[in-house]
Amino acid sequence: MTGSETRTSERTSCADSSACSHTRRVRRALKRDDAPCLLWRTDMSHHQHVTGSVFLMSSQMRPSFSHIACNIFVYSACVMQFVFFLSLSRLTLEDTQQWSQSLERLLDSKYGLAAFRNFLKSEYSDENIEFWLTCEDYKKIKSSFRMASKAKKIYEQFIKAESPKEINIDYHTREQIKRSVKSPTLYCFDDAQKMVYGLMERDSYPRFLRSDIYRTLLENLSADATKG
């Protein structure tokens, strides 16, 4: 098997895999200047998956205790600030509880979408929701000129291998889109959008429901409802 065929096989087997998504998050974090702290933050929420990756790093790259403490404090402050913002909105406990019914219900809510995007950014995996939202906007385009320009930008940003926000899709779909953007239609990203939605539904969405952002918001709204 040639090197190209091997990479193709790896990309195909990697599609729709939560493990592959996690690897991408770790690699994205490693590119940042504060990589040790970012990796530790990821480890705090994905201990069973990330520990091996962290210990493969050299001892010099592992975070110090002060970095760990600072990172936990900053992350907690960001979560509480966002939850406080949502608590001041017209969001109700009933509305928030309905987010757990389905990903579709969550994304239909303005505040639910904001909370989900904030959570994904904290995990360095917001490329999926950003791509999905971009596709929703793309399908509203009427001008063929704007469509061609937008399709090219979407390909360069999300689809192309090693692009800034590369999404996790299989090689066949990636190549199909590469061909279709030369003469784009409203539906040229549909297959990739469905794959990304399915990945969020199986991977990111369940983690969101277990996250500090969602649980703290429910607790705050429940306490407010009890006070009357």
Each residue's pLDDT tens digit, 162-175: 999 999 999 999 99
Residue 194 within a domain:
yes
Tokens at 53, concatenated: 């990756």
Residue 82: per-residue pLDDT = 55
Residue 21: per-residue pLDDT = 55
200: domain CATH number?
A: 1.10.167.10
Residues of the chain scoring pLDDT < 50: 3-16, 18, 26, 29-75
Q: Which long-range contacts (CB under 8 A, 24 or more apart) does 39-43 make?
A: 39/63, 40/67, 40/68, 40/71, 41/71, 41/72, 41/75, 41/122, 42/123, 42/124
Residue 153 within a domain:
yes
Residue 209: per-residue pLDDT = 97
Whole-number Å distance between alpha carbons of 226 and 41: 33
Which domain, by its residues, includes 167?
Answer: 127-205
Residue 60: per-residue pLDDT = 40
Q: Measuring CA to CA, which residue among 97, 123, 150 is closest to residue 42?
A: 123
Q: What is the pTM of this model?
A: 0.66
Whole-number Å distance between alpha carbons of 202 and 128: 13
Residue 200 within a domain:
yes
Residue 90: per-residue pLDDT = 73
Residue 121 within a domain:
no
**What total of structural domains would you count in the chain?**
1
Residue 13 within a domain:
no
Residue 62: per-residue pLDDT = 42
**Tokens 């990697």 appear where?**
14
Tokens at 92, concatenated: 């109700």
Residue 169 within a domain:
yes
pLDDT, tens digit, 9 for 90 and up, residues 78-93: 555 555 555 555 788 9
